[in-house]
Amino acid sequence: MKYYILFGPPGAGKGTQAKFMVEQFNLRHVSTGDLLRREIANKTPLGIEAQKLIENGLLVPDEVVVGMIENLFTSERTSAGFLLDGFPRTIRQAQMLDELLKKNNEEVTKVVSLMIEDELIFERITHRAQIEGRSDDADPAVIQNRIETYHQKTEPLIEYYKERGKYEEIDGNQTIEAVAESIATIM
């Protein structure tokens, strides 16, 4: 099994590029955001708690996210691999993922990182809120908190995966098609 991580700040185009990668490379898309939104829509206890955290720009506890991902890894093995979108977000999560994969003598195949500037993050997230009706994308204070959280907690993953020879960076400021072509060359 292959295990790809799609990485980048909020609004970098991960969801858009994930669709291309899933079709092109026969991967199972694993979006922690989608998993959590499903729990929220179903008003499960996890969903209710997650909604409170997300509305305040906070992250859901690692153990919950890892548990959801482990369930998917064991139950859905019909594709060539998995594309993790929105996970890991911290060094601790990356270590938890490594431990999870190591149990089956597997490892992360590659990290594909879409990079954009902070100003563009605001523009894209605000636009997404209007199109998709996502309340978690509408509040500028929440957006700013998500950007700061990304810089403080998620950006250190760049070095973590560079040290392991797994990191590939793509300029996310390009057109959707150009980003997809850049991804295809490194897969």
pLDDT at residue 46 tops 80: no
What CATH number belongs to 2-182?
3.40.50.300
pLDDT in tens, 80-124: 999 998 889 889 999 999 999 999 899 999 999 999 988 888 888
**CA distance readout (Å), 181 to 14, 15, 22, 152:** 14, 16, 14, 30
Peptide bond into 156 cis (omega under 30): no
Q: Which of 26-35, 67-76, 98-107 has the lowest mean pLDDT?
A: 67-76
pLDDT, mean of residues 144-159: 89
Q: Where are the domains of the chain?
A: 2-182
Higher pLDDT, 156 or 128: 156
